[in-house]
Chain A
Amino acid sequence: MDLFEYQGKQYFARFDIPVSAGGVADTVDQAVKVADCSQYPVVVKAQVQVGGRGKAGGIKLANNADEVRTHAGNILGMDIKGHVVKRVWVEHASDIDEEYYASFTLDRAAKKHLLMLSAQGGVDIEEVAAKDPDAIVKLHINPVEGLSTTVAKKAAVDAKIPAKAQDGVADILVKLYRCFTEGDCDLAEINPLILKPTGEVHALDAKVSLDANADFRHPEWEEFKATVELDDREKLARDKGLQYIGLDGFVGIIANGAGLAMSTLDVVNQVGGKAANFLDIGGGANADVMASALEVINFDKNVKSIFINIFGGITRGEEVAKGIVEALGRVDLRAPIVIRLDGTNAEEGREILRNAGIPQSKLVSKPTMLEAAKAAVEIAKK
């Protein structure tokens, strides 16, 4: 789950990382109110989960209430690379002497945490990475050992952070690392990490991505979930607890396992079709989950056929079959189903489907993935 900047800053604050005082606003009046409570000049920042918002005009400096009114008016509703701005964050404008970059992520190849730190932070960090990779210090941290202040300080020295800022940077790195680990982040990034004329080091931006698997131990994430932007299909899927991503094709896809679901998309594509969605019902899915999945697919008006691709391991064939029969009783499916059922208890499942009295026009069974994909695409194109 990706957080908006303002949420990231709220999350940082929980770990004592210094951020600017400010507030979030979804109307112009509210933005002015927040600005009046902060100290002018203020910065009005578009809250979108996409890079390059500054260059797109989504970040503006305002010296008084009138300017806030103008900028907030322009930014709210602005389209930045397909993301419509619904909220702005207004904070006191910081004086900046220098801009650095700091992030923690998991390096899957090394199986360790990775700190990246650079004295050349700011909008062009990706360019720095491409042109002058040595300007970014990359330090692996063993998750069992953690990050000490001494090691953080050494990283700051190696990154050529000026001496006057090294202690401040090291302090923030240790706090950011705590946020990353205890806060269960996939990514915790500060760009820019600034040095103020007063000598303080401070997080001017926050990019935080949370690990959904750790949800069970973070009740405080509830408020973040409320702002996740989903289309209507995705909302319904989320309410039903399904792994669903909406796409723009016409063959509805239900598969068990992310790999098989991806593979199903590939095969549908190879035989001339286009998937309407990615839907992984996961391992151990029962009849209820299958019925919910069909309801979500049925909600999508572009779907002309539904390809259910199940290979049973932990998912049992008879449960899948029961789910389909139940769903056909519960919802009036607009599109016919093509099913390929194999693996654990597949024969029992096929028998349940055969004996359920479902007409051929509503449900077709095919022995292989490729044949089922072809049938689904053919039906969809009729």
Chain B
Amino acid sequence: MAIFVNENTKVIVQGLTGGQGKYHGLRNKAYGTQVVGGVTPGKGGTDVEGIPVFNSVAEAVAATGATASFVAVPPKAAPAAILEAAQAGIGFVVCITEGIPAQDEARTFNTLKRDFASTRLLGPNCPGIISPGKCNIGITAGEIAQSPSAKGPNVGIVSRSGTLTYQALYELKQLGIGVSTCVGIGGDPVPGTSFIDCLAEFEKDPETHAIIMIGEIGGSAEEEAADFIKANVSKPMSAYIAGVTAPAGKKMGHAGAIVSGGKGTAQGKMDALRDAGVKVGLNPTEAGSLMSDIVKGLR
């Protein structure tokens, strides 16, 4: 088991013929992911190192039976690419694109919600997802992820920050702890998949025995996750919040102050998570060693 993606997931890469799409698409394939096709309008019929390229997602799905898509196209084209995938019946879309305007993200998210409720979007501006040993979609270096052990205990990772996602994988690998799935939800204002979505899946997943959560300052996603954990998560957790010493963010006028109501600081987030029973580390390494203690207790 794993969450969202596993060894049966068939992936197409939208933008496979572009620089990022080709580099990471081929790396994902080399990792063992079933990368069954690529999509670039106008380049249908060609191939990238043996991976067939199609003109549209619909054609690619018809020909390959793909169930997931990896969107690696520039910010201007990404919202349309995401919606095209949803329209073609893709159930899981990973978008790594950085720099999509917030208005476009908000529209895309709400369009998916209204018209394509069965499609889950991960990202944008996220590192992707890896179920070690089974499937890797996105930019994570697969070799830093420890595969889950059959007898467990294994850890699920959910993170809002790209590089800190790798850091968490790396910390667990150093400790020899297996990972069921590692999800990078991305730090953009309107992420398609939230902490809560992932926590709910990890709670259900029999292969996941404990969870690490990596958050950062700003917004209120961590506080909402803390409320959810209190009520719904029985598995032990450790967490790290980046930005304790970060400079104060952009002032958002009165509106920001009113909306946030004092939420958004690293301290506030750490307090909320501690209150929900989560062990909170002051740096990624500490969050890793706290998890190590948890795992030892489970063995």
Contact = CB atoms under 8 A, between A and B. Distances in A.
Interface of A: 2, 49-51, 101, 103-109, 111-114, 116, 125-126, 129, 136, 142-144, 181, 184, 186-187, 189, 191, 207, 209, 211, 213-214, 216-217, 245, 247, 255-260, 262-263, 265-270, 275, 278, 282-284, 311-314, 342-344, 368-370
11 contacts: A105-B259, A108-B221, A114-B259, A144-B110, A186-B252, A211-B103, A259-B162, A263-B240, A266-B282, A311-B163, A314-B162
B161 A258 contact: yes
Contacts of A283: 98, 139, 162
Contacts of A311: 163, 166-167, 170
Contacts of A189: 253-255
Q: Which 9 pairs, one residue from A and one from B, show the smallest C-beta to C-beta distance?
A: A259-B161, A257-B163, A260-B163, A214-B101, A262-B242, A262-B243, A259-B164, A103-B255, A269-B245
Contacts, number: 194
Interface stretch (B7-15, B31-39, B59-67, B212-220): B212-220
Interface string B265-299: 00000000000000000111100000000000000
Given A2-B251, A105-B252, A211-B103, A369 B283 contact: yes
Given A143-B107, A216-B76, A342-B170, A257 B162 contact: yes
B190 interface: yes
Contacts of A342: 144, 166, 170
Given A213-B100, A313-B140, A103 B75 contact: no
B257 A126 contact: yes
Nearest to A259: B161
B247 interface: yes
Nearest to B98: A283
B101 A266 contact: no
Given A283-B139, A312-B141, A369-B285, A259 B250 contact: no
Contacts of A258: 161, 187, 216
A313 B110 contact: no
Interface string B89-110: 0000000101111111011011
B114 interface: yes
B206 interface: no
A233 to B, nearest CB: 13
Contacts of B284: 263, 369
B111 interface: yes
B244 interface: yes
Nearest to B184: A313
B242 A266 contact: yes
B75 A216 contact: yes
Interface of B: 20, 24, 75-76, 96, 98-104, 106-107, 109-111, 114, 127, 139-141, 144, 159-167, 170, 187, 189-190, 214, 216-217, 219-221, 224, 240, 242-247, 250-259, 282-285
Contacts of A142: 110, 114
Nearest to B216: A259
B217 A344 contact: no
Contact of B245 (A49, A207, A214, A265): A265
B283 A370 contact: yes
A143 B219 contact: no
B258 A126 contact: yes
Of A217, A283, A312, which is in contact with the most chain B CB atoms at under 10 Å from its CB? Answer: A283
A105 B20 CA distance: 33
A345 B160 CA distance: 23
Given A187-B253, A216-B75, A266-B243, A116 B141 contact: no
Nearest to A313: B139
Contacts of A214: 101-104
Of B98, B139, B252, B255, which is in contact with the most chain A CB atoms at under 10 Å from its CB? Answer: B255
Nearest to B127: A313
Contacts of B220: 108-109
Contact of B247 (A101, A112, A247): A247
Contacts of A370: 283, 285
Given A108-B189, A114-B255, A343-B144, 10 more contacts: A111-B106, A184-B103, A257-B162, A263-B242, A265-B245, A267-B283, A270-B283, A278-B246, A313-B162, A313-B163
Of B159, B160, B285, which is in contact with the most chain A CB atoms at under 10 Å from its CB? Answer: B285
Contact of A181 (B76, B103, B111): B103
B114 A144 contact: yes
A313 B136 CA distance: 12
Contacts of B163: 255-257, 259-260, 311, 313
Contacts of B98: 282-283
A282 B162 CA distance: 10
B54 to A, nearest CB: 25
Of A103, A213, A284, which is in contact with the most chain B CB atoms at under 10 Å from its CB? Answer: A213
Contacts of A255: 163
Nearest to B218: A108
A4 B244 CA distance: 29
A269 B140 CA distance: 28
Given A49-B251, A112-B110, A129 B103 contact: no
Given A105-B255, A116-B255, A187-B255, A263 B100 contact: no
